[in-house]
Amino acid sequence: MACCVSKTQKRTDIALACKELFVKHHHSDITMSQIALTAGIGKGTIYEYFANKEDIVFELVAILMAESNVRKQEKVKNATSTKEKIKVFFEFFYDEESSDLRSIYKEFMSISLLNPNQKIMDFQTNCHHNYKQWVMQIMQEGVDKGEVIPQSLHLIQGMFTFGTGIFITNAITTTVIDIEQEVNNFIDAIFALLTKQN
Amino acid sequence: MACCVSKTQKRTDIALACKELFVKHHHSDITMSQIALTAGIGKGTIYEYFANKEDIVFELVAILMAESNVRKQEKVKNATSTKEKIKVFFEFFYDEESSDLRSIYKEFMSISLLNPNQKIMDFQTNCHHNYKQWVMQIMQEGVDKGEVIPQSLHLIQGMFTFGTGIFITNAITTTVIDIEQEVNNFIDAIFALLTKQN
Amino acid sequence: MACCVSKTQKRTDIALACKELFVKHHHSDITMSQIALTAGIGKGTIYEYFANKEDIVFELVAILMAESNVRKQEKVKNATSTKEKIKVFFEFFYDEESSDLRSIYKEFMSISLLNPNQKIMDFQTNCHHNYKQWVMQIMQEGVDKGEVIPQSLHLIQGMFTFGTGIFITNAITTTVIDIEQEVNNFIDAIFALLTKQN
Amino acid sequence: MACCVSKTQKRTDIALACKELFVKHHHSDITMSQIALTAGIGKGTIYEYFANKEDIVFELVAILMAESNVRKQEKVKNATSTKEKIKVFFEFFYDEESSDLRSIYKEFMSISLLNPNQKIMDFQTNCHHNYKQWVMQIMQEGVDKGEVIPQSLHLIQGMFTFGTGIFITNAITTTVIDIEQEVNNFIDAIFALLTKQN
DNA sequence: GATGAATGAGTTTTCATTCAT
DNA sequence: CATGAATGAAAACTCATTCAT
């Protein structure tokens, strides 16, 4: 609140300034000089806000994910059925809006596999956990409303695992997958089982 | 020293000599010098058989996968029920025997994400395809024997996707997953649905 | 250490620091490490100012040639007759003062033949052109003063070609040539023809 | 005369087999492997006949020059006037027939400048000497026949120097020179002076 | 004599990171 | 706080040459 912007804000600003760069290129092909140039700051300044290059990708994923979550939250609120709500959730894997996030998350996955450190693994763990909680809550509401059967809750982990699988398969395979189709089929199939028949 | 072994054999020999190295360390932390030393050959010799470091990981994955497949084939043959056969298949994700392959496949995934080139993507695509065909055949036999319902065939892709997901999640997350448990639950659940009830 | 000197100045400084090195050794026998050591800078710093080793030779030739030209200009001004002026010009091929430039220009020739690129060829072309223009002007003044006949102007290209020839022949031949003698004879012979007889 | 071909013959064969290679590429861009492949022999065999890569260029120049000399000799014999004979001599610098030799001689010059060793310098010295002797003899005959004045003999060295100069200038400069024109003008000019006027 | 697999010294070059200003 | 010039560690990769067969 002093003269200008907070350290956190600047971190965000720098990261966002490089978004395009990381969307378009592999992080291993991007140099700190390019980043400095793109962000319009000195090379040394980057290190005031980030520990290293990977840290920028990290921040970028965090920012875009938070943004995405806000949008998701809104959509979930507007969705009527539990199935619709869940579907909103899996849109990440194919919708245009999440395209940048997907690209950068792919880089983040690469970094995570390449040199998994505590900070990164904790973040990933946390992410998974939060999303799971969120979907859990949605499901619980569905159960409460009698829309889906209670056993649904046990399937949530599996659904995420499935999502991760399809994401990776798509990234490293030439197989052309219509992810939207695939995901929707999957969810429809699941819900066919989860919905109380009477 | 050598005169009679084929180029292919030597490639295999070198790759296998470095297996431990790649199991224990990330490929980015391994230098060509280390590899040469470990394999007991000159640095230049490596380049007679491999295009680059990544190519060694590639070969290693191919070799270990082939070995693994031989074992799998045997086990599948000995398994009695279709479910047992399928389970053999998913043992990759947790059994001690596949531990090295898992480690190296993780490196391979990292390489695949980091710098996906045609050769790698084709290999991955091929792998997926072959395994799918294999499981498909097993399922078909189960269908023919009346053990499982015909719809089972549609679930195979999903099962692989699930496998990939659990593999990656385990790699980049601190969440302690009892993969064996998880996988078996999943398969049991699936087969509960797939088995003809009467 | 440095903050105020321009990029151009630093480039000059580094190049000059390595002058002795390039005078005494063939460029192919000089490593970037030696250069860094000699110039008292880090290996990486070299690449901030030069594209590669050849680029340093290039710069060195340019610097020494410019220096040499300044001296030439002075001498030409002080020379009385057109013949004297022209002789000043050809001193490059033998005088002690130009010894270093000759050595380095020899390296530059070697580089030019080894891997002729546009930048180098353009520089060489430019050099030739400028010197020609210069001598042309001197001759013109001689013509204007009635010292030499107008046809003299047509011989200039030939004189340069001759100079280049003698330079190279001397470089790659064991024949001991008294270049000073040879050049002076040549010029005397030429001027005997060019001078108006009456 | 034993089983097959002599060592000298094989040396010639290998060198000629690579002619195209050295005409089309700079010697620094050609590997011993390529040479072995092109010549259809083993890499080790090359070293039975040549000390190193440069030695092959050396041999090639020697062979092509000898071939060229045979053709020259014939042409000189058929030429009527001394001027015609001399011109035959300078055809090297521009005629299509000598194109390959020119390319390879350029490489040889590059090698000569890059790392002048005794063998190479001796060869160059010898070449120059022989050609000079040859032209000397032609001139002497012209003098004897009263075709040219005796002073002509003093100009021969200069003519060669001029030739070398034009060759190099053409190699390292972008200036488009019509060498044939240039050379013929030069010789015509010289002979205008050398021919007895009466 | 012919071979070509094996070699490893040696060099260029990159780029994340530091730190004096 | 910001900078960007300076750094130098580090690594990949090449290729002429050797030598056992």
Number of domain units in chain D: 1
CATH of the domain at B171: 1.10.357.10
pLDDT greater than 50 at residue D46? yes
In a domain, D23, yes or no: no
Q: In one letter, which amino acid is B38? A: T
Q: Are B165 and A165 in contact (CB under 8 A)?
A: yes
B121, part of any domain: yes
Q: Is the CB of B43 under 7 A from strand E?
A: yes
| Cβ burial B113-146 (10 Å sphere, 16+ → b, else e) | bbebeeebbebbeebbeebeebbeebbeebbeee
Q: Which 8-state DSSP code applies to residue D153?
A: G
Minimum distance, in Å, between the CA of residue A68 and any CA atom of chain B? 21
Task: Determine the Cα–Cα distance for residues A107 and A55; give it in Å rounded to an integer.
Answer: 12
Please report which confidence band the pLDDT of residue B2 belongs to, taking 50, 70 and 90 as the band edges: very low
Q: Is a pLDDT exceeding 70 seen at residue B167?
A: yes
Q: Between the CA of C1 and the C1' of F6, what is the distance in angstroms?
A: 9
% residues pLDDT > 70 (chain C): 96
| B175 or C149, higher pLDDT | C149
pLDDT for the residue A2: 44
Please state whether strand F lies within 7 Å of residue C48 at its CB atom: yes
Instruction: Evaluate if the CB of B117 falls below 7 Å from strand F.
Output: no
Question: Least CA distance to B113: which residue of chain A?
Answer: A110
Q: Which subunits have 3 or more CB–CB pairs within 8 Å of chain D? A: C
Per the domain annotation, does B169 fall within a domain? yes
- pLDDT at site C197: 57
Smallest CA–CA separation between D50 and chain C, in Å?
21
- Match 């819900």 to its residue by tokens: A191
Sorted by sequence, the CB contacts under 8 Å of residue D31 that are 6+ apart come out as none
Residue A196 pLDDT: 58
Q: What is the mean pLDDT of residues A100-114?
A: 93
The per-residue pLDDT for range A3-60, each reduced to its tens digit, is 456 888 999 999 999 999 999 999 999 999 999 999 999 999 999 999 999 999 999 9
Residue B158 pLDDT more than 80?
Answer: yes
For residue D107, list chain C residues with Cβ-Cβ distance below 8 A. Answer: 113
The pLDDT value given to residue D115 = 82
pLDDT over threshold 80, residue C126:
yes
Contact between C57 and C22 under an 8 Å Cβ cutoff? The reply is yes
DSSP state of B148: B
* pLDDT higher than threshold 50 for residue A1: no
In what helix (H) or strand (E) does residue C122 lie, and over which residues does it extend? helix C118-144
In this structure, is the CB of residue B44 within 7 Å of any atom belonging to strand F?
Answer: yes
Question: Is 80 exceeded by the pLDDT of residue C3?
Answer: no
- C110: domain range? 53-194
Average pLDDT, chain C: 90
Say yes or no: B126 contacts chain A, CB-CB below 8 A: no
pLDDT-derived band at C1 (thresholds 50, 70, 90) equals very low
Are the Cβ atoms of B124 and A173 closer than 8 angstroms?
yes
pLDDT tens digits, one per residue of D4-23 = 678 899 999 999 999 999 99
Give C9-46 pLDDT, tens digit per residue: 999 999 999 999 999 999 999 999 999 999 999 999 99
Closest approach of D114 to chain C, Cα-based (Å): 6
Pairwise CA distance, residues B18 & D71, whole Å: 62
Residues of B in contact with A120 (CB under 8 A): 172
Helical H segments across D79-117, by residue range = 82-90, 99-114
Percent of chain D exceeding pLDDT 70 equals 96
Chain-centre distance for alpha carbon C154? 22
Q: Evaluate if the CB of B42 falls below 7 Å from strand E.
A: yes
Task: State the pLDDT at residue D1.
Answer: 43
User: Coil, helix or strand for D167?
Assistant: helix
The proportion of chain A whose per-residue pLDDT surpasses 90, expressed as a percent, equals 62
pLDDT-based confidence at residue D154 (cuts at 50, 70, 90): confident
Most confident of A74-88, A155-169, D148-162: A74-88
pLDDT for B5 equals 72
C197–chain D Cβ distance below 8 A for any pair: no
In a domain, C60, yes or no: yes
pLDDT for C196: 59
Distance in angstroms: CA A15, C1' F7:
26
Closest listed residue to residue D193, CA positions, set A77, C193, B137, B187? C193
Q: Largest Cα–Cα distance of chain D, in whole Å?
A: 66
The verdict on a CB contact (< 8 Å) between D162 and C165 is yes
- pLDDT for res C158: 84
Task: Tell me if residue A195 falls in helix, strand or coil.
Answer: strand
Q: Is residue D28 part of a domain?
A: no
Best C120, C153, C173, C183 residue to mutate vs chain D (most D CBs within 10 Å): C173
Residue D108 lies in a domain: yes
C26: CB within 7 A of chain E nucleic strand: no
Count C/D contacts: CB-CB distance under 8 Å. 104
Confidence tier at C194 by pLDDT (50, 70, 90): confident
Mean pLDDT value of segment B152-165: 86
Name the nucleotide with the smallest C1'–CA separation from D31: F15
Distance from C-alpha of A155 to C-alpha of A161, rounded to nearest angstrom:
10
Supply the mean pLDDT for chain B: 90
> Measured between CA atoms, how close is A96 to chain B, in angstroms?
21
d(CA A138, CA A81): 10
Q: Which helix (H) or strand (E) holds B173?
A: none
pLDDT digits (tens, 9 = 90+) for D171-197: 998 888 888 988 898 888 888 888 855
From chain C residues 13-52, the ones with a CB under 8 A of any chain D CB are 26, 28
Q: At what angle do helices A53-78 and A118-144 cross, to 10 degrees?
A: 10
Q: What element of type H or E holds B40? A: none
Query: Cβ B169–A113 below 8 Å, yes or no?
Result: no
Per DSSP, the three-state class of C113 is helix
For B195, the 3-state DSSP assignment is strand
C169 within some domain: yes
| Distance in angstroms (rounded) separating the CA atoms of residues A69 and A130 | 11
Domain assignment present for D135: yes
Mean pLDDT calculated for residue range D77-91:
93
Tell me if A163 and B158 make a contact (CB, 8 A cut-off): no
Q: Kind and range of the H or E element at C18?
A: none
